[in-house]
Structure 1
Amino acid sequence: MVSIKDIARKAGVSISTVSYALNGSPKVTDETSAKILAIAKELNYVPNAAARNLKKRETKIIGAFLTDFSGAFYGELLQGMKEGVNRSGYDLIVCSGKQSHLLLPQRMIDGAIILDATFSNEELLKFADLGHKLVVMDRDLDHPNVNQVLLDNKAGATLATEYLIEMGHRKLYVVTGPKDSFDSRQRLQAVKQTVGRIPDIEYIEIEGDFNKSAGELAGKRIAQEYSGPVAVFCLNDEMAIGMYDYLATTDFRVGRDIHLIGFDNIEVSGYTKPRLATIDYSKRKWGMLASEQLIKLIAGDDVDHERIYVTLVKGDSVGQL
């Protein structure tokens, strides 16, 4: 790999002169600078980004850390993040997996947006103590270098549960998300609180994982246990769509035998027949706000924690209880 030493040797100048020229410093004459840049091009010189970042202490790159990229959820969220960082002259990289956590201590990025259960709270607080700027979208963390931009999961889950109860249901299935998911835990807590206020509700949990296959399995179990109209709250739309797919292979009909609601209002939810009830919010706005808050943190501005609010989208019924 070509270094600035190689350029300096061929140009017959010092290493510091090459460094000045490559960085556009006025300390080097135009003639010398042009000569050095021509040699660098000839040798296919690529700057050492890590060394440059350590010297300048900035990369103009933001990292978005996600647990995974599966499902239909992430596209709008990442688009919002990208738009937010680009407005301020930053670029966005998307990361997943334990090894990518090293980008923070190695200062390969200027800050991080966290929607990744593989980070422990202790790890993030350690990074924050070292001065790294973070925005969390999936947990409560109290630290001057950490800002929270959280979805109002409890309000959404309360709306969903009340919607099903107001339809007259007294038997409620809830298909959960992963145990380590902050969003799932928040939604489930709100469901239990809402159900606890209503007498004579039969409440049944089915463990899921936010993936379509979990909804299919849950639908199979509910069909096997069916004894009359029931309500089902899938804690995200992916699982609700999976349940739709399974029930389509049976004699049971969504909106008549089984009233179903999801959470996230992904695009395909609007095309189901009957239309899936769900909890809506702007994923693009959530991502954009997270990136904007992070850039304010990096700039040293004061920021308050933010919350993304939700609304109920009612589904279509094809029968009455």
Structure 2
Amino acid sequence: MAGIKDIAKSAGVSISTVSYALNGSSKVTEETRKKILAVAKELNYIPNAAARNLKKRETRIIGAFLTDYSGSFYGQLLQGMREALTKNGYELIVCTGKQSHRFLPERMIDGAIILDANFDNSELISYAERGHKIVVLDRELDHPNITQVLLDNKTGAALAIGRLIEAALKKIYAVTGPSDSYDSIKRLESVRSLMTQHKDIQYTEIPGHFNKESGEQAAKQITTGFNGPVGVFCFNDEMAIGMYDYLSKTEYEIGKDINIIGFDNIEVSAYIVPRLTTIAYSKKSWGALASDALLATISGVEAAQKKQVIQVSLFEGDSVK
């Protein structure tokens, strides 16, 4: 493969002159530039992107790090990220797994958006200390190079539990997410705080994993020895949909025997019957805001807010009466 030295030799100029010409520098004449570009084309020269990026200390690429890609949650979130980045001349790559963590220290990307439980806080702080720009969606970290763009989990959980209490239900279940999930932890903290104020209501927690299987298992547990009606707050819509699937094969009626509230308002929840009551917010806006916040940090905008919160609301369906 031809390199800069080969072009310089063929064109009869110095290596530095070739470099100036290839990078559009005004230090060479237009005539010399055209001559060098013609030689480069003739030799099928391909620029070494890695070397160029190392010199410029930028790649114009942002990494979105996710715990996994499963489920229908991520599509709009990533779309929001991509659209905001594309508008500003950046590309997005989506990463998962421990091996991808090296993209930051090896400067393969200009910054990172983190929604990945596999990143330890200490690891992220160490990268930030070395000057890497980071946005976190799933934790609270205080550092000048880290911006937090978080869901208002406390308000969302309060709206869900408040709606179940309003329905005059005397037994309420919370189906949680993974124990290492920031969003699940914050929702659970809010639920526990609220339920301590309602000692007359029987409250039970069922561990889940933010997937349909968890919802099915929770529904099985709830209907074993059933003494309803009951209310269930699933910490995401996928578990609520799993609960729907299981209950469809039983005699129990959603919205009457078992009242269900989800969280996320994913697109598929609009098509289940009865329509799911859920906590809604714009995942696309969340992704766009995360991208904008990261680009602000990269550009050194001092006014960039270091903590931003995505507002949520209660979408009233028919799964709670």
Q: How does 1:165-184 map to 2 (within 5 A)?
A: 165-184=165-184
CA displacement at 1:52 relative to structure 2: 0.9
Going from structure 1 to structure 2, the CA distance change for 1:219 and 1:46 (only over 3 Å counts) comes to farther
The reply on whether 1:18 has 2:32 as its aligned counterpart is no
Provide the aligned length of Structure 1 versus Structure 2. Answer: 319
Normalised by the size of structure 1, how large is the TM-score? 0.94
Name the aligned partner's letter for residue 13 of structure 1.
V
Segment drifting more, 15-24 vs 169-178: 15-24
Going from structure 1 to structure 2, the CA distance change for 1:317 and 1:30 (only over 3 Å counts) comes to closer
Q: 2:308 aligns with which of 289, 306, 314?
A: 306
Segment drifting more, 193-202 vs 1-10: 1-10
Going from structure 1 to structure 2, the CA distance change for 1:170 and 1:6 (only over 3 Å counts) comes to farther
CA offsets 1:33-67 (integer angstroms, 9 cap, x no match): 23332333344333222211121122222211111
Question: Are the aligned partners of 2:275 and 2:317 in contact in 1 as well (CA < 8 Å)?
Answer: yes
Residue 31 (structure 2) aligns with: 31
Mapped partners of 1:41, 1:178: distance in 2: 55
Normalised by the size of structure 2, how large is the TM-score? 0.94
Cα root mean square deviation, aligned = 1.6
Mapped partners of 1:33, 1:242: distance in 2: 64
Segment drifting more, 275-284 vs 48-57: 48-57
The reply on whether 1:164 has 2:168 as its aligned counterpart is no
Going from structure 1 to structure 2, the CA distance change for 1:13 and 1:184 (only over 3 Å counts) comes to same
Name the aligned partner's letter for residue 316 of structure 1.
D
Name the aligned partner's letter for residue 104 of structure 1.
L
Name the aligned partner's letter for residue 17 of structure 1.
T
1:262 match: secondary structure: strand
Mapped partners of 2:201, 2:41: distance in 1: 73
Provide structure 2 residue ranges, at least 5 long, that are not aligned to the other structure.
Answer: none
Mapped partners of 1:5, 1:187: distance in 2: 60
CA offsets 1:208-257 (integer angstroms, 9 cap, x no match): 11111211121222222312211111100011111111111111121111
Going from structure 1 to structure 2, the CA distance change for 1:211 and 1:3 (only over 3 Å counts) comes to farther
Residue 317 (structure 2) aligns with: 315
Q: Percent identity?
A: 64
Residue 71 (structure 2) aligns with: 71
Going from structure 1 to structure 2, the CA distance change for 1:44 and 1:97 (only over 3 Å counts) comes to farther
Name the aligned partner's letter for residue 180 of structure 1.
D
Question: Are the aligned partners of 2:147 and 2:294 in contact in 1 as well (CA < 8 Å)?
Answer: yes
The reply on whether 1:117 has 2:117 as its aligned counterpart is yes
Name the aligned partner's letter for residue 259 of structure 1.
N
Name the aligned partner's letter for residue 210 of structure 1.
F
Provide structure 1 residue ranges, at least 5 long, that are not aligned to the other structure.
Answer: none
Residue 234 (structure 2) aligns with: 234
Mapped partners of 1:241, 1:145: distance in 2: 38
Name the aligned partner's letter for residue 307 of structure 1.
V
Name the aligned partner's letter for residue 29 of structure 1.
T
Going from structure 1 to structure 2, the CA distance change for 1:100 and 1:43 (only over 3 Å counts) comes to farther
